[in-house]
Amino acid sequence: MTNGQVETQTISKYDRTYGGLHDISLTTKPSTVKNVQTLTGKSETFVVQTLRHEELGDFIFIECMDENGLTRLALPPKVAAAIASQRDSLTKRRRSISSKAVMRRRMDEGWVPTFKKRKA
């Protein structure tokens, strides 16, 4: 209280979401990742934790600490699914590019593919 006024504290979206899911969801242990940016040399620390609700899906909670302070994000299941989908897409493309390069190298070395039927 200051000067006779009542200060009201609102609970952040992060805290509401985390608190509502914490006891009713499967949780991972928080993972701490320290990163130093190569271009600027500035360090930052991330704390990442995933909570899986049986009906709602996966929520990802991220806390980022850097020279500007603390930033907290509660990523909903649609965002978590988009991140997973994009990662899977990149993995699939990388495998395809790698496979094509291996096949090109084999063909350059004189290997000829044969499409024989396998014996049962």
Beta strands in 11-112 (DSSP E): 26-27, 31-36, 43-53, 57-66, 69-75
Judge if pTM exceeds 0.95.
no
Q: What is the pLDDT of residues 21-60, one digit of tens each?
A: 989 999 999 999 999 999 999 999 999 999 999 999 999 9
Adjacent-strand bridge partners of 68: none
| Residues 27, 28, 31: CA angle, nearest 5 degrees | 140
Q: Among 22, 88, 34, which Cα is nearest to 61's?
A: 22
78/82 Cα distance (integer angstroms): 6
Give tens-digit pLDDT for 72-106. Answer: 999 999 999 999 999 999 999 999 999 999 999 98
The pLDDT assigned to 11 comes to 83
